[in-house]
Amino acid sequence: MPGIDPLSLPVLALICGIIFFAGLVHGTLGLGFPLVATPCLALITDIRSAILITLLPTIAVNIVSIIKGGHWHLSIAKYWPIAFYVAIGSILGTRLLIVFNDPAPFKLVLAGMILIYLNINRLSAAKLTWVKAYPQQSMLLFGLVAGFLAGMVNVMVPVLVIFFLELGLAPTAMIQIFNLSFLSGKLTQTAVFSHSNILSGEMLRATAPLVIFALVALFIGMAIRGSVSIERYRKWLKNVLFFMAMILIAQYIFT
């Protein structure tokens, strides 16, 4: 694996544990696999290697989540353009990651954006009413920003959560378009890595077994999600946003 000694069994066991935990979170919330796995893996390797390690598991988790979600008419039929915009943004973000290999400043900006959103009622009387007033333009803006951050730091969840919470989407529709966007961005990122000769067949073979850990945990998480109410789900999402911001700030300070 890139950036990791392949003979280090304790490290490989830790990687499998991280992948399993990330899959469990994704199954429970319907999102969050790369968000959880990437910062954890970045503690034992570099950010680019962490992104490469999560490529196959993330793609597998997204595909299964889309298929299992159902009710596509509530999400994909209406909001598919955002996945297209995510793909475009991902190209730019991934290219910058390859060139600069230092996403730390972007993490801090993202963390600040999350905290502003979570406290927007305290900071100002203004709200993001323009999201509903101009849905197509909002979709373009949020899609491009989400894709850019996904390519650069492997994190697009906060941007999409903010967008869909403002639209007031039901959890089922939200999860469907989340995963379609994740898949779109990840496939685009894979193509950019391959074109730049960073992604190799050897790396894909080495990380393929991690897909099993991710999917087993995903199905366990999905079983947990079935007992959660819509109100509690939305509260969880906002709590996750705050937790994300704290992780991103801590990474910026300590790495």
- Tell me what the pLDDT averaged over the chain comes to: 82
In the chain, where are the structural domains located?
9-254
pLDDT digits (tens, 9 = 90+) for 65-78: 878 766 665 667 78
Q: Which residues of 157-166 are buried (b: 16+ CB within 10 A; e: fewer)?
A: bbbbbbbbbb
Average of pLDDT values for 227-249?
77
pTM of the model: 0.76
pLDDT digits (tens, 9 = 90+) for 81-94: 999 999 999 999 99
User: What contacts 112, CB < 8 A, 6 or more positions away?
Assistant: 245
Quickly state the pLDDT bin for 1 (edges 50, 70, 90): low
User: What contacts 143, CB < 8 A, 6 or more positions away?
Assistant: 81, 82, 83, 84, 85, 86, 88, 89, 181
Distances 16 to 23, 67, 161, 176, 203 between C-alpha atoms, Å? 11, 24, 27, 26, 15
Cα 103–chain centre separation: 15
Tokens of 196: 């730049």
Is residue 7 predicted with pLDDT exceeding 50? no
Work out whether the CA dihedral 147, 88, 58, 56 comes out positive or negative: negative
Q: What is the pLDDT of residue 226?
A: 72
pLDDT digits (tens, 9 = 90+) for 167-225: 887 777 777 888 889 889 989 998 999 888 888 888 888 889 999 999 999 999 888 87
